[in-house]
Copies of this chain bind each other. A is one copy, B any other.
């Protein structure tokens, strides 16, 4: 089994990490659109166009399933991607919803959705969660989290003040959807700041979805991984070494 993982940049490596930890595939083809990152502040048509270009790239490989690791692309381009390929396309938003639904039995739970401006504006998480009967929803576009992670400032007081700013109006939160692939890198800090709220991690959620809906229950002993990027692939590989460590 060969899987394609598409992300707007480096963030999707957090999804790759989960896939590798569960040994679900023989080969991972990762493509990050690093020349045009971030998608989170772009408009719908641009996000669709860039996503379809990524799909063209994956047609060079014989992949069995395509994972859209970018929440923003999942929010806007999933239908268009599916209309243009015969292979299964799975996105982190449906995965996150499924994971939350499996974990939360109480429909009165207070759920916080964090994401980029584009993901939050799409209301994809909200609409799906409401269809499952969850109504106590708060959504916040936390635009500064991505640059804080990319600038490696997560252990400074800048992040503390950013939490204070974004979360100042919140009361009790039961579960937080980390609706951007960069956010798992500050998952523990977010959960702790919000009174040890449960966190939904896109990578773990994708693994659950693949097992449940696509019968990906193999346990390969070794996974080969190939990294591609629309610019600076060496930079991507450097981050991969740091984030994925001995998994690659």
Whether A156 is near chain B, meaning CB under 8 Å from some CB there, is yes
Choose from B42, B144, B150 the contact partner of A158 (Cβ within 8 Å). Answer: B144
Shortest Cβ distance from A165 into B: residue: B156
Shortest Cβ distance from A35 into B: residue: B46
Choose from B43, B144, B235 the contact partner of A151 (Cβ within 8 Å). Answer: B144
- In the assembly, how many copies of this chain are there? 2
Evaluate whether A46 and B165 lie within 8 angstroms (CB atoms) in the complex, with A143-B151, A151-B144 already known: no
**Chain A: how many interface residues by the 8 Å CB criterion?**
27
Choose from B35, B147, B165, B232 the contact partner of A147 (Cβ within 8 Å). Answer: B147
**Are the CB atoms of A46 and B231 closer together than 8 Å?**
yes
User: In the complex, how many angstroms separate the beta carbon of A229 from the nearest chain B beta carbon?
Assistant: 10
Find chain B residues with CB under 8 A from A41 CB. 37, 150
Whether A153 is near chain B, meaning CB under 8 Å from some CB there, is yes
* Max chain B Cβ within 10 angstroms of own Cβ: one of A45, A151, A165: A151
Whether A53 is near chain B, meaning CB under 8 Å from some CB there, is no
Whether A196 is near chain B, meaning CB under 8 Å from some CB there, is no
**Are the CB atoms of A43 and B143 closer together than 8 Å?**
no
Find chain B residues with CB under 8 A from A60 CB. none
Q: List 7 A-B contacts (CB under 8 A).
A: A43-B235, A143-B147, A143-B150, A144-B144, A144-B147, A146-B147, A156-B161
